[in-house]
Amino acid sequence: MIKLTFLGSGCWQGIPAPFGDDEISQKVEWDSKDFRFRTSAHIQTEHGKNIIVEATPDIRLQSWKFKLGKPDAFLISHWHYDHLFGLMELDWYTEKNKLTVYGNSITKEWYDSRMSHINVDFQVFESYKPFEIDNVRITPITINHVEDTDGFFFEDMTTNKKIAYLSDLRGIPIKTAELVKDSDAIITDATYLESDISDDPTHLQKEQIIPFLRKLSAKEIILTNIGSYQDLTHADLEQKFPQYTIAFDGMKREY
């Protein structure tokens, strides 16, 4: 069985945004569903291995708030700050503890050039070449965002349940779409669900998100990477999009 916990459900800024003057950032409270760390997830495998998807700059508080056990592996989708640079928070931790990080070759280049003093075993993966941790087969899958971005396709080899974790994106190639079709859950990017920032070509824009979601087939479609730009609360989003699950920090699933 895979136990999945959302450690964060916010876009790159998180909610509240730094010095955020939008309505949500102004009124959000620490323990509400509108408080969102940068998007990340924890997966616990059958025999208790701890996998963390993305190393966000919030990892210090995420590990504390969700009482995480020592991580066996981090999976990094791409080199953007909110996905990779949390490794910088682990300088002292990695002096004392072994840590394996999986990322693609471009992510490795960013790691090498900016944070190679962080002592990790960096394993470079290739898209569509699966590897295994405990009972979970993990396939990095190409998604369209910035050059060389991968999502992750998780298959529990005991239960045969399948989860697709599609990080920041503006679309997915056909090969990825075919692989993730009919998953038990597809977790995907809703950065601009209700707001249009048209000068950001790396994410789906407001009018593109629902048509993209309609093409996906899964038992549950979970929206994450939520931004505060839309001035809608978690409750507002749930009411407006009842056909989708709106992620929140601490949300749990078992597969």
Q: Give residues in contact with Zn ion (CB under 5 A).
A: 80, 168
Output the smallest distance, CB 172 to Zn ion, in A: 14
Tell me how far, at minimum, the Cβ of 22 lies from Zn ion, in Å: 21
- We find the least distance from the C-beta atom of residue 160 to Zn ion, in angstroms, to be 31
Q: How far is the CB of 41 from Zn ion (least distance, A)?
A: 15
Cβ 128 to Zn ion, closest distance in Å?
20
Nearer to Zn ion, 38 or 80 (CB): 80
Is the CB of 156 or the CB of 168 nearer to Zn ion? 168
Q: Which residue lies nearer to Zn ion by CB, 58 or 168?
A: 168
Distance of CA 85 to the CA centre of its chain: 14
Least CB distance to Zn ion at residue 78 (A): 6
Residue 126 or 200 having the CB closest to Zn ion = 200
Residue type, 17: A
Q: What is the DSSP letter of 226?
A: B
Task: Kindly tell me which of 168 and 249 has the beta carbon lying closer to Zn ion.
Answer: 168
Beta-strand pair 73-75/50-53: parallel
DSSP β-bridge partners for residue 3: 44, 254
- Looking at beta carbons only, is 80 or 161 nearer to Zn ion? 80
Measured CA to CA, the distance from residue 244 to residue 223 in angstroms comes to: 7
- Residue 221's closest CA among 158, 164, 159? 164
